[in-house]
Structure 1
Amino acid sequence: MRNDNVVQIKSYAFAVRIIEIFKYLSEQKKEYVLSKQLLRCGTSIGANIEEAIGGQSSIDFYAKLTISYKEARETNYWIRLLKDTNYLPEDEAESLLKDVDKLLRIIGSIQKTLRNSTNS
C-alpha cells in the first residue's frame, strides 16, 4: 500500500473498523443478517479501490471507483439502519457515518476530476 494514497489508506482503515463492528454485532448482539450486509459492502469499498489502482485503463479505473462509491452509499444505509434499530450505539454509528462520508467525498472528488479531465 502506498503511503501517499489517501483513499487507499482511509478505505483500508475503514474496512478494519467494519470487520470489528461485524464481530461486535455477531458476537455481542447476535445479529447476523444486517451485519453481514454491512461487512460485505463496507469491505468492498477498499477492495474496489485496490482494483481501480490496478486497473488496465482509465475507463477501468473510473468503473471500479464508481463501484466503490456505490458500495460506500450502501454502507451508509446499513449503518443508519443498524443505528436506528439500536444494534449500534449512536456514538459508534456517528463515527462510522463520518468516516464513510469522508470516503464518499474523496471518491466523488476523484470521479469529478476524472470527468473534467476527459471533457477538456
Structure 2
Amino acid sequence: MCKYSIDSSESPKWILEEGYDLEERLLLFSASIITLTDGMLKSRAGNHVAAQLLRSGTSPFPNHGEAQAAESLKDFIRKLKVCLKELRETWRWLRLLDKVPLAEDVVAVKELIRESDELIRIFSASIRTAEKRKG
C-alpha cells in the first residue's frame, strides 16, 4: 500500500506501509497539492491552473469527512461521488501540468497523477459496493 509523505525537501515521496487509513491518505494528498501549487509559476496560466488544482485537489479530504457523517446510504453514496468527481478533475489538471511546465517539481506531478489515479479507483470501487448494498 502506498502512502504519501513529505520529506524535508518537500518533494513527494511514496512509501510502503502496513495498514490502511484513507482519511490520512487524503490528508497527505491535500497537503501535497498545497505544496505543489505554492511552488507553481506565477503567471496568468500558472495562477489559473494552481487555483483550480488547489480547489479540486484539497476538496476530497473534507468531503470524505462529510461522507463519514452521512445520514443515509443514499447520502453516503452522493458524498462519495462528490469526492470522485473532484479527484477526476484533479487528475486532469495534473495531467495538464505534466504537459505544460508550470510546476517546478515534475516528479511530484507524476507521483500525484499516480496517487490520484489510485484514489479514483478506490472511490469508484467504494461507490459500486455501496450501490450494491443499496439494492
| Band of TM-score, shorter chain | 0.7 to 0.9
Shift of 1:102: 1.2
* TM-score normalised by length of structure 2: 0.78
Q: Secondary structure at the match of 1:32?
A: helix
Query: What is the match of residue 7 of structure 1?
Result: 22
CA contact (8 A) 2:64 2:80 kept: yes
Unaligned 5+ segments in structure 1 are none
Unaligned 5+ segments in structure 2 are 1-18
CA contact (8 A) 2:73 2:134 kept: no
* TM-score normalised by length of structure 1: 0.87
Query: What is the match of residue 79 of structure 2?
Result: 64
Shift of 1:91: 2.1
The two structures, once aligned, show a CA RMSD in angstroms of 1.4
Distance 2:31 2:108 in 1: 14
Which has the larger helix fraction? Answer: 1
Query: What is the match of residue 101 of structure 2?
Result: 86
Query: What is the match of residue 44 of structure 1?
Result: 59
Shift of 1:5: 6.4
Q: Secondary structure at the match of 1:112?
A: helix
Q: Percent of aligned positions with the same letter in both sequences?
A: 30
Query: What is the match of residue 12 of structure 2?
Result: none
